[in-house]
């Protein structure tokens, strides 16, 4: 019978620790033997914090092979977030306070100044458990350069919460610009609603399953099943962070 990826990981940990049994490995890790059995059978979640402290090389290789997430990928993703357009967005965000209410833009920009678009800015965070849709109350508006936004009528802003996507350059309090008109593709970072709770994750599409993958080794992927209430509420196209 073919071994699962978790069974292979436990076997590698046995070899790395010179252990002859799961009992010996459990003693080294300071856990009960039953926990090792759970890891093999996939009944329990892997304790990445513990495994990284004891067997960092084997654990990181497992994560890379299992989910396709490695340090080089995270580095490239962070670099892609940089650039002149993002810097300009941060400047505008700090210099022009967001407009409250539903009034239309009344700008007197000269011809050489950038055109501004208003985006609905939902002040609750993406982990607050309140799905964003066209009927959600807008508490503020965010002004951004028009050339940053391809589909203004279908784009909104929301704050990030938590650290599950730090490897992709998304940190607590960042403003996520989300385009709900885009068709989400494999590896896109999306805002998804799972059983009524929002989350920002990387969409991972395989032949027979769809998952939401975090960019933080301390978080487990979310495998989407048929009994879940699952909706993709847009693709994250920009991440804005104030640096001062």
Strand partners, 145: 116
Helix (H) or strand (E) holding 190: strand 189-194
- Annotated active-site residue 201? The verdict is yes
Number of Cβ atoms within 10 Å of the Cβ of 8: 14
| List 19, 164, 193, 215, catalytic entry | 164
| List 19, 35, 193, 201, catalytic entry | 201
Please give the Cα distance from 145 to 162 (Å, whole number). Answer: 27
160-172 burial, b if ≥16 CB within 10 A, otherwise e?
A: bbbebbbbbbbee
Evaluate whether 153 touches 117 at the Cβ level (below 8 Å): no
- Annotated active-site residue 4? The verdict is no
> Helix or strand or coil: residue 59?
helix
* Among 8, 49, 4, 9, residue whose Cα is nearest residue 30: 49
From the number of C-beta atoms within 10 Å of its C-beta (0-12, 13-18, 19+), residue 47 rates as middle
Structural tokens at position 136: 């959600």
Number of Cβ atoms within 10 Å of the Cβ of 130: 16
Helix (H) or strand (E) holding 179: strand 175-179
Q: At what angle do helices 5-16 and 56-67 cross, to 10 degrees?
A: 160
- Which positions are catalytic? 164, 201
């Amino acid at each position: 019978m073919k071994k699962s990826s978790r069974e292979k990981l436990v076997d590698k940990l046995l070899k790395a620790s010179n252990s002859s049994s799961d009992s010996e490995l459990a003693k080294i890790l300071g856990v009960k033997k039953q926990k090792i059995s759970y890891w093999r059978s996939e009944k329990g979640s892997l304790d990445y914090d513990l495994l990284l402290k004891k067997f960092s090389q084997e654990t990181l290789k497992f994560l890379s092979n299992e989910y396709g997430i490695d340090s080089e990928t995270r580095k490239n993703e962070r670099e892609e977030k940089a650039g002149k357009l993002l810097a300009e967005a941060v400047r505008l965000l700090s210099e022009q306070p967001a407009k409250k209410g539903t009034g239309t833009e009344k700008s007197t920009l000269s011809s050489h100044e950038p055109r501004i678009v208003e985006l609905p800015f939902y002040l609750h965070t993406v982990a607050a458990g309140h799905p964003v849709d066209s009927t959600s109350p807008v508490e503020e508006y965010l002004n951004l350069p028009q050339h940053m936004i391809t589909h203004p009528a279908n784009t909104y802003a929301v704050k990030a919460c938590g650290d599950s996507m730090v490897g992709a350059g998304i940190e607590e309090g960042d403003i996520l610009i989300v385009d709900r008109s885009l068709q989400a593709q494999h590896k896109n970072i999306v805002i998804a609603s799972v059983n009524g709770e929002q989350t920002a994750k990387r969409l991972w599409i395989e032949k027979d399953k769809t998952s939401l993958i975090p960019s933080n080794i301390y978080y487990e992927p979310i495998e989407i099943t048929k009994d879940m209430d699952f909706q993709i509420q847009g693709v994250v196209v920009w991440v804005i962070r104030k640096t001062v």
